Structure 1
């Protein structure tokens, strides 16, 4: 072996080993500072003590999102998220935001495919207030017809701004609808406009009573707190809330694809765009590493080959996320340079896929991708918000928050042979959906 190559290989191995040891130490430290509690009504509480700053992030996660919805009610989870700030008998409309803001804190919410989460960042002495507010609206939300009609207009405008007026968002929405035929990810989180226009206040009330219950929720608290004290405060406000019978969702199994699916989106746009995806399973650390090898920074393959060396693309990305309740997509996307067409960019992506099929990733390249992912996970611990999502997302898809503490160990297990095997298994034409945005 060339001495320089041998030296670089040793340095690569040393770098990933040091990162692995560092993440292992940090994960062990955070895991030892994380405790789980269960209330008698089924509510789960996860508390992570982090005393680096006098602040606390409190959140409540509900196991409901767009993947729980069916045709005719798409977007109702997101609509209810908006209505959750319209008040209760005790705390009227807008009072929630004012109380958190007046205390020096801030709050927000997010609806996703598999969950809805509400969170507040406050001083530790105000944590009790957030529990009082969240427990109240878990039970006593007032769903007023007039407020609902006004908020419906807000959501419709949000959809117009985020999707309908954005050519790439329209294309991605149509891509998902084609890729997921009988899969809960078929429709957008915000919902189809026709559904937003037509569901009623009674639909929202039914959705609220079905899914907003202690036995369908997880509270995650991270910050400058004492776990046992937090548990006592949570019991004070939530322990007497009655559990509900949570609906058992009917399984929707994706139908077997019979060939590549191609769609053309021909609308006014400044630039063409391509998105293509392979149907893949959730929770795959091998696929996460493939995405990192392809698109993890300036030294990654797509940047190196398609953007810098051959100038085929203005942008080129590969994306895969771990946590889903259902099968998902490994996504390639990009915009060709003026000298090249969408078809040529598509073929360039296929060349990258063929390379994964036929040639083993080198150990150095794999080590670099592992080191980047591990380093990124280390840096996430500087943010209470990122810690919250790393604990909450696994909980929402049938896993445990402890999954985040096993990240480095599971990344380390992946081999070059695993990379090639998964590429050969999943990156095939019968498993592919392609959407092209062609400016009108």
Structure 2
């Protein structure tokens, strides 16, 4: 009887979780091309207003890198109707919080307010799109901010150049070869007019998606969106034709020296498919299998059993044109990087040659479900998912259907994808080393 009750309770819980994750939304386009997605959830008096622009680190000319990340900062400087330096003060004084972030493929701005300040959030984002103040003073100020960020996160941070080191060796033609934050000499050399031209090209309604999620009334919200965003003029259509990379057919082995570290790091990278490709979802599951938690294969083998690594991890960096699959490890004691790489390859070989166990596969499915639930557990998370799914995956409905992709992945798929992408002749190996200091 107790077991039956437990089963019944479990079924009810699963049913409730499944129901709670069904996200209803309305989407449409304004006449100027701005795509709008609305999600109504009146369970709490909170609303998130967000705009995702289809512009990122890859959108640049040679010699002018880092513009998208620079604009992430610059567009908080102020507008014709928001005084310089007052953006964050306005948000916090109305009980809100906000932030922005930039990847190689998109830039995302958002504010979360008590729902009675919905109109304020819409006004501020429309101001950012329509009336930004782009002057030399602001450019100079943010140039110093970006330089300090680069120093803090990359130049003076231990292991801060892992990604740039891999990008430089994995890509030879595509803009992904350069760091998202760009090179400081490029920003120093850019003219004010170049910054204005960049804004005019990419920060236009027809190159963006607006998401409003939370405690809203759909009709009232549509009216406000029309009032604030409808008058903004469309820009020219953004076209992209970036160089295609040749397949990696022979192992690339390179070294990178970091003056901020004492322990070297072994890094292995593989070029992988783009956003939305089913194989990319499979690679996400492979990452979980290899390095998510202390029971994962690489952690258990290298850290617990063999005691040859201090830390190990694997992750699939999904991007719009090409992805990157990275595995890294910090060796323990006198263990060589070659020894670490050999043991990692041994586990990858097993993936290519054998099906993972049924019990391990069940764990992967459970973790995928948990990750899906967590990603949409807040209004801000739902807003982000809706924007990303529309802009980068070209399918807004993934917010409800993405879990089905994971549920339909099989053990055979994992083996097939490992054979397709994770081969020794397709990898880039970086010996990430302490910078040798000259003897005094």
Normalising by structure 1, what TM-score?
0.91
Gaps of 5+ in 1: 1-13
State whether structure 2 residue 109 is matched by structure 1 residue 109.
no
> Match for 1:66 among 50, 57, 73?
57
Residue 417 of structure 1 is matched in structure 2 by 412
Residue 198 of structure 2 is matched in structure 1 by 207
CA deviation after TM superposition for structure 1 residue 132, in Å = 1.2
> Match for 1:25 among 19, 30, 39?
19
Q: Residue 79 of structure 1 contacts residue 152 of structure 1 at CA under 8 Å; is this kept in 2?
A: yes
Residue 303 of structure 2 is matched in structure 1 by 307
Residue 280 of structure 1 is matched in structure 2 by 272
Q: Deviations over 1:102-134 (max 9, x none)?
A: 111121111111111111111111110111121
> Match for 1:259 among 250, 256, 280?
250
Find the residue that maps to 1:411 and give its secondary structure.
Answer: helix
CA deviation after TM superposition for structure 1 residue 371, in Å = 0.6
Residue 293 of structure 1 is matched in structure 2 by 289
Residue 236 of structure 1 is matched in structure 2 by 227
> Match for 1:382 among 367, 377, 386?
377
Q: Deviations over 1:59-106 (max 9, x none)?
A: 111110112123211111111121111222222212322221211112
Distance 1:135 1:205, change over 3 A: same
> Match for 1:158 among 145, 149, 159?
149
Q: Residue 175 of structure 1 contacts residue 263 of structure 1 at CA under 8 Å; is this kept in 2?
A: no
Find the residue that maps to 1:243 and give its secondary structure.
Answer: coil
| Separation (CA, whole Å) in 2 of partners of 1:436 and 1:217 | 40
Normalising by structure 2, what TM-score?
0.91
Residues paired across the two proteins, number? 424
CA deviation after TM superposition for structure 1 residue 23, in Å = 5.4
Q: Residue 273 of structure 2 contacts residue 321 of structure 2 at CA under 8 Å; is this kept in 1?
A: yes
Distance 1:21 1:285, change over 3 A: farther
Aligned pairs for 1:31-430 (under 5 A) are: 33-268=24-259, 269-282=261-274, 283=276, 284-322=280-318, 324-430=319-425
Find the residue that maps to 1:257 and give its secondary structure.
Answer: coil
Find the residue that maps to 1:66 and give its secondary structure.
Answer: coil
| Separation (CA, whole Å) in 2 of partners of 1:18 and 1:350 | 43
Q: Residue 37 of structure 1 contacts residue 231 of structure 1 at CA under 8 Å; is this kept in 2?
A: no
| Separation (CA, whole Å) in 1 of partners of 2:106 and 2:155 | 24
Distance 1:286 1:22, change over 3 A: farther
Q: Deviations over 1:180-234 (max 9, x none)?
A: 2222311111112221222221111011000111111111112111223211211
**Moved beyond 3 Å, runs of 4+:** 14-24
Distance 1:62 1:345, change over 3 A: same
Gaps of 5+ in 2: 1-7
